[in-house]
Amino acid sequence: MHRFVRTTVAASVLFATLISGSLAAESSATPALTKLPRHALVIGNSQYLNGPLVNPKNDAQAIAERLRQAGFSVTLKLDAGRRELQEAIRNYGAALNRDKGVGVFYYAGHGVQLNWRNFLLPVDAKIRSKADIQSEAVDLGLLLDGLTRARNALNLIILDACRNNPFGPDFRTDDRGLSQLDAPPGTFLAYATAPGNTAEDGEGSHGLYTDRLLKEMLIPGAAVEDVFKRVRLAVRKTSQGEQIPWESTSLEADFSFLPGQSSRDTAKEFESDLASWQQLRAGGTPEQLEAFIRQRPNGKFAELAQFSLDRLLAAKGEKPVKPRSNGGEVCTPDKPGLPAPYTGVTKAYGVGERYAYRRLDLLSHTETSRSDTTITRIDGDEVHFSDGHISDPFGNNVRAPDGRHWTPYQFFIADYQLGKRWPAQFIVTLADGRQVSNEFQLRVASRERITLAAGTFDAFRIEVRGTNLSNGDVLERTAWVAPEQMRGFLAIETVIRRDGKLIEGERTELVAHAAGRPVSPAAQSSGSSLSNY
């Protein structure tokens, strides 16, 4: 029976189990999706009674043409009134319900939120107060209800609807921009800027967001998630952080607007990407990091590179907009018993911070061991623990007390969002010099409340699936993290199946935690060549 290597290091309990495990990439359903009918509803509202806009009409026409080139049957509505807009949305949902295909909904124009609900503004809306919004605007819930009933294969919702308040200084809603959405399964949701923020209409023939989207949609074989990551990079750079697009996904399969060879990361590219990242992490410029991320937005080091880029831009004075929660992750007020919304603020490791864990055998339901360790110092990108373990700033292994060491990798990351997917791969060198390469895929599956011996936490649940390439065993892993409260993990469950039979199962969970003393970025950077990691 395959056994995981054991260590007494609390912070490395998870990754010590990864030495002999390998997760293959998720199987892609793109070939099946390419054969399905494609429907799109594209709306561009410019000629408002109050606050007319320049670009939405042009944006919608250009997006409609791109989608036709990609094989979509497109319904285009320009300067739509309320009744026309409602009818178009209902017909769009009916078409997807009938054909069970791929759907794209694009809206450019004014949008507003009220009581955690999003409303699209038709051009004939006459809104003098908040009380008029529900009767004069179109609730985006109409679209979501239709998609939920349709249960079609895949949906893209693109909202370039974050313009400024069109009703003048005398009209105020409680929050700016649009609110976060709870979209149906199999949906990719894209905002032109972070929820709770606004973006300007722009001065060119297209808005800043859509102008970049039109360019990225032309790349053959580019996965839709890569398309929007590249759009985000470009918009952020052009706006100097004042407009940063935001995405949320529950997609289970890859999708490309145009056919072609995928640019997604492969095993053959790992060695090259690792060498490039090793150079960049020692002193890459913002331009070099942007180019690295653009090359493979979903690459094995893209999350690490994005964090480095964020730090460098912040040091240069950028103050990027942040998603603003309005009471819940799913556009509903916070309720007792439900996890609090994630603010996007993460907590770093601190000197003196203590982590104590216990390990349980899931088959025998017995406790097998305990570990207790404290952070003794933080040198740049290395976090040192009292038992000799070294991790990176996110909790990924760097070196173990027995001499094992890891190449950089991104199991734990800086930015967690519901639905987010990312890959990771590393090479571990054992004490005797032997090397093992490991690869896996991760997804943030939910936000939930978890109770442990150490307390109750509002956490993200991360699902990891794959195989052990040496023997074909199926590996399933679930991890819980609470980045607002601590950098270390809360709990991890791992099961191994061979020929469909469960052969091993283990759970590691936090039993005690004590906060430490934060270390300033300047102090962290003094002990390592990596000052921006």
pLDDT digits (tens, 9 = 90+) for 80-112: 999 999 999 999 999 999 999 999 999 999 988
The average pLDDT across 274-278 equals 94
User: Within this chain, do residues 394 and 504 fall inside the same structural domain, yes or no?
Assistant: yes
503 located within any domain: yes
User: Within this chain, do residues 129 and 156 fall inside the same structural domain, yes or no?
Assistant: yes
Residue 344, amino acid: G
335 located within any domain: no
pLDDT tens digits, residue range 369-402?
Answer: 999 999 999 998 999 999 999 999 999 999 999 9
333 located within any domain: no
pLDDT tens digits, residue range 421-450?
Answer: 999 998 889 999 988 888 889 999 999 999
User: Within this chain, do residues 58 and 186 fall inside the same structural domain, yes or no?
Assistant: yes
| Of 142, 171, 138, 133, nearest in space to 51 by CA | 171
pLDDT score for 163? 59
The CA distance from 307 to 98, in Å, is 43
In the beta sheet, which residues pair with residue 118?
Answer: 113
User: Within this chain, do residues 136 and 231 fall inside the same structural domain, yes or no?
Assistant: yes
If phi > 0 it is left, if psi is from -120 to 50 it is alpha, else beta; for residue 403 that is left
pLDDT score for 26? 34
pLDDT tens digits, residue range 478-524?
Answer: 999 999 999 999 999 999 888 889 999 999 999 999 998 866 544 44
For residue 496, give every residue at least 6 positions away whose Cβ sits within 8 Å of its Cβ, in sequence order, or none.
2, 468, 473, 474, 475, 476, 502, 503, 504, 505
User: Within this chain, do residues 241 and 278 fall inside the same structural domain, yes or no?
Assistant: no
Dihedral pair phi/psi, residue 14, rounded to 5°: -60, -50
User: Within this chain, do residues 391 and 487 fall inside the same structural domain, yes or no?
Assistant: yes
259 located within any domain: no
User: Within this chain, do residues 218 and 285 fall inside the same structural domain, yes or no?
Assistant: no
State how beta strands 102-108 and 38-44 pair. parallel
Q: Taking each helix axis as running N to C, give the angle between helix 56-69 and helix 208-216, from 0 to 180 degrees, rounded to the nearest 10.
A: 10
Angle at 196 between CA 190 and CA 198, to 5 degrees: 80
Domain count along the chain: 3
Q: Is the dihedral of CA 172, 191, 443, 149 positive or negative?
A: positive
**Residue 528 scores a pLDDT above 70:** no
Of 3-7, 240-244, 344-348, highest mean pLDDT = 240-244
- Listed range (20-29, 396-405, 473-482) with the worst mean pLDDT: 20-29
- CATH number assigned to the domain comprising residue 445: 2.40.360
User: Within this chain, do residues 192 and 299 fall inside the same structural domain, yes or no?
Assistant: no
Token pair, residue 203, equals: 């001065």
Alpha helices by DSSP H, 266-420? 267-280, 286-295, 302-315
| Of 335, 103, 320, nearest in space to 194 by CA | 320
5 located within any domain: no
What single string gives the DSSP state of each residue in 483-527? TTT-SS-SEEEEEEEETTEEEEEEEEEEEEEE--EE--HHHHHTT
140 located within any domain: yes
Which H or E run includes 423? strand 421-429
pLDDT category, 116, cuts 50, 70, 90?
Answer: confident
| Of 274, 441, 380, 371, nearest in space to 16 by CA | 371
User: Within this chain, do residues 242 and 271 fall inside the same structural domain, yes or no?
Assistant: no
Residue 356, amino acid: A
104 located within any domain: yes
- CATH number assigned to the domain comprising residue 89: 3.40.50.1460
For residue 68, give every residue at least 6 positions away whose Cβ sits within 8 Å of its Cβ, in sequence order, or none.
74
pLDDT score for 95? 97
| Of 37, 55, 171, 148, nearest in space to 109 by CA | 55
State how beta strands 154-160 and 187-191 pair. parallel
User: Within this chain, do residues 139 and 200 fall inside the same structural domain, yes or no?
Assistant: yes
Please indicate whether residue 498 or residue 2 has the higher confidence score (pLDDT).
498
Cβ–Cβ under 8 Å, residues 9 and 400? yes
State how beta strands 354-361 and 38-44 pair. unpaired
Q: How many other CB atoms sit within 10 Å of the CB of residue 49?
A: 12
For residue 511, give every residue at least 6 positions away whose Cβ sits within 8 Å of its Cβ, in sequence order, or none.
356, 357, 358, 370, 452, 453, 454
Direct distance between the N- and C-terminal alpha carbons of the chain, in angstroms, rounded to an integer? 39
Token pair, residue 197, equals: 């923020």
**Residue 533 scores a pLDDT above 50:** no
The CA distance from 142 to 51, in Å, is 24
The average pLDDT across 353-360 equals 97
Measured in whole angstroms, the distance separating CA 343 from the mean position of its chain's CA atoms is: 14
* Single residue among 192, 221, 249 that ends a domain in this structure: 249
The CA distance from 253 to 436, in Å, is 29
44 located within any domain: yes
User: Within this chain, do residues 46 and 139 fall inside the same structural domain, yes or no?
Assistant: yes
Please indicate whether residue 200 or residue 12 has the higher confidence score (pLDDT).
200
pLDDT score for 417? 86
pLDDT category, 327, cuts 50, 70, 90?
Answer: very low
The CA distance from 108 to 238, in Å, is 20
| Of 191, 208, 59, nearest in space to 113 by CA | 191
The CA distance from 47 to 36, in Å, is 35
For residue 297, the enclosing domain spans 267-315
| Of 130, 146, 131, nearest in space to 85 by CA | 146
User: Within this chain, do residues 354 and 417 fall inside the same structural domain, yes or no?
Assistant: yes
3-state secondary structure of 205: coil
Q: What is the dihedral of CA 23, 445, 533, 213, to 10 degrees?
A: 100
